[in-house]
Chains A and B, each alone.
Chain A
């Protein structure tokens, strides 16, 4: 936390920090979900995690921001282990976007964003409202600030969720199948927002079924199966020349 530069940017993003996991193991009940996962996402780059459902992708994201604590292994931000940190403080540095948006339905769009700013970041009401508008504007929804999430389309809700996460000025963004619950015609807008963010230099770890997005935006694609990273590399190599039989089979099913 101390060496982190408190940038006062409002619109454009400065470079984030790198994320890495080392031999992460996690069992939930009798289910051995993560069986030694290593990954390395350099600062300001995007890594996409693909793989069949149940392979541990979403669980891996939740270990990175410690919504789930790994049984063993390590999680590093900016080259430093975060397992000894206060998890609540760590999560302010790591933004997360969920498959089902998880906006707070009893609050307006604006209040969804200002809640963390006033309560956690110590901003005044006015400062928070102002920053909320800046980030809503980024995702093209400033005119919806006073509406409740229930009155927005799924695509709009997800863009608000992205704005909510970005307003906390995270150093890393996690996306958990951010477009899987959307109607097909709404997927594009959300993916465009994510691609913009990647282009601006955010460090992103993206669990996705959108192979087109992975191919065009990510610098690195990781294929997970049965709690392990089976294959990783540049998108061109992973999609055009998969080495393992499991990835070949997976790609033939989804492409």
Chain B
């Protein structure tokens, strides 16, 4: 019984959690979100560039994209973050002073871009070649056909995979602690770990974990919702004219549409 109590106290000491909570919410949560958000945006933009280059007809665009992807997907995240964050630190010091965040975000973005680039590439490649052909037959150039017709469809198909990548990014953002953070720069993980180290009690780290779950679990549900919408939506996104009052069960719409064949 004693042993059980010890375990409970080690992980779920509410007083220890309460002590860590203010820092966790005021400092850790914003920092984690800033890291994840900026890297997600930059990683997505870079990823799209990589995908388009990777699908280019020009070898001198395809090849660098390939190498970039292989390198940043192949290296452990910790290695990339340390190499960029420490290796470029003198340069960073000159540009934005003693703040490890920009380099941390850069490293996280580079890692994310490699994965996101592959996600986009597979999405774009899955679009029927007839779509680009139809766009070109209307008079669009190849780049405009890609931009207006092919890429929007490709991206839509891989939204679930993209959100999964964002989840990974939120978790990997904890690795910036390698770069040495000031008290105000600590993210969720670092605050939990510091408190755990100071008190010899893991409860603060458990609290940090709960904070991560609070962000990531809803996101996984977003993934599932998108996934479901995409799968059903393909048949049921008939638009307002099809179901004026929105009363129709989505699943029953396709038959409706076909039975209305006027000629």
Assembled-state Cα–Cα distance A168/B237 (Å) = 27
Assembled-state Cα–Cα distance A189/B130 (Å) = 23
Chain B residue with the shortest CB-CB distance to A186: B261
Q: Does A45 contact B (CB under 8 A)?
A: no
Q: Does B97 contact A (CB under 8 A)?
A: no
Chain B 212-241 near chain A by CB (<8 Å), digits 1 or 0: 000000000000000000000011111111
Q: Does A106 contact B (CB under 8 A)?
A: yes
Q: Does B262 contact A (CB under 8 A)?
A: yes
B137 touches A67 (CB 8 A): yes
Instruction: Report A68 CB to chain B, min CB distance, Å.
Output: 10
Assembled-state Cα–Cα distance A82/B134 (Å) = 20
Residues of A within 8 A of B (CB): 65, 67, 88-89, 91-92, 94-96, 98, 100, 102-106, 108, 115-116, 119-120, 140-141, 143-148, 150-153, 155-156, 161, 164-165, 168, 186, 188-189, 192
Assembled-state Cα–Cα distance A96/B137 (Å) = 6
Of B138, B156, B240, B262, which one neighbours A168 at CB under 8 angstroms? B138
Assembled-state Cα–Cα distance A69/B235 (Å) = 37
Residues of B within 8 A of A (CB): 128, 130-131, 133-141, 144, 148-149, 152-153, 156, 234-242, 253-254, 257-258, 261-263
B234 touches A119 (CB 8 A): no
Chain A residue with the shortest CB-CB distance to B256: A151
B138 touches A164 (CB 8 A): yes
What 5 A-B pairs have minimum CB-CB distances, sorted nearest first?
Answer: A102-B134, A92-B139, A96-B137, A151-B257, A146-B241
Question: Which A residues touch B235, using CB under 8 A?
Answer: 150-151
Assembled-state Cα–Cα distance A99/B58 (Å) = 30
Question: Which B residues touch A141, using CB under 8 A?
Answer: 262
Question: Which A residues touch B130, using CB under 8 A?
Answer: 98, 100, 102
Question: Which B residues touch A106, using CB under 8 A?
Answer: 152-153, 156
Instruction: Please judge, given known A-B contacts A115-B148, A119-B144, whether A151 and B242 are in contact too, CB under 8 Å.
Output: yes
A147 touches B139 (CB 8 A): no
The B interface is mostly helix, strand or loop, or mixed, namely: helix
A116 touches B139 (CB 8 A): yes
Instruction: Report B224 CB to chain A, min CB distance, Å.
Output: 21
Chain B residue with the shortest CB-CB distance to A104: B149
Instruction: Please judge, given known A-B contacts A106-B153, A140-B263, A151-B238, whether A116 and B140 are in contact too, CB under 8 Å.
Output: yes
Assembled-state Cα–Cα distance A156/B258 (Å) = 9
Assembled-state Cα–Cα distance A102/B136 (Å) = 11
Instruction: Report B152 CB to chain A, min CB distance, Å.
Output: 6
Chain B residue with the shortest CB-CB distance to A99: B130
Instruction: Report B258 CB to chain A, min CB distance, Å.
Output: 5
Question: Which A residues touch B236, using CB under 8 A?
Answer: 151
Chain B residue with the shortest CB-CB distance to A95: B137
Of B137, B140, B149, B254, which one neighbours A151 at CB under 8 angstroms? B254
Question: Which A residues touch B140, using CB under 8 A?
Answer: 88, 116, 119-120
Question: Which B residues touch A94, using CB under 8 A?
Answer: 137
Question: Which A residues touch B144, using CB under 8 A?
Answer: 119
User: 16 A-B Cβ contacts within 8 A?
Assistant: A67-B136, A91-B139, A95-B137, A96-B134, A98-B130, A100-B128, A102-B130, A120-B138, A143-B241, A144-B241, A146-B239, A146-B241, A147-B241, A150-B234, A151-B253, A189-B263
B133 touches A67 (CB 8 A): yes
Question: Which B residues touch A92, using CB under 8 A?
Answer: 138-139
Question: Which A residues touch B153, using CB under 8 A?
Answer: 104-106
Assembled-state Cα–Cα distance A115/B261 (Å) = 25
Assembled-state Cα–Cα distance A115/B138 (Å) = 9
A91 touches B137 (CB 8 A): yes
A144-B241, A147-B242, A152-B257 known; 15 new pairs, CB 8 Å cut-off, are: A67-B133, A91-B136, A91-B138, A102-B128, A104-B149, A120-B138, A120-B140, A146-B239, A147-B239, A150-B234, A165-B138, A168-B138, A186-B261, A188-B263, A189-B263
B131 touches A102 (CB 8 A): yes
Assembled-state Cα–Cα distance A150/B133 (Å) = 19
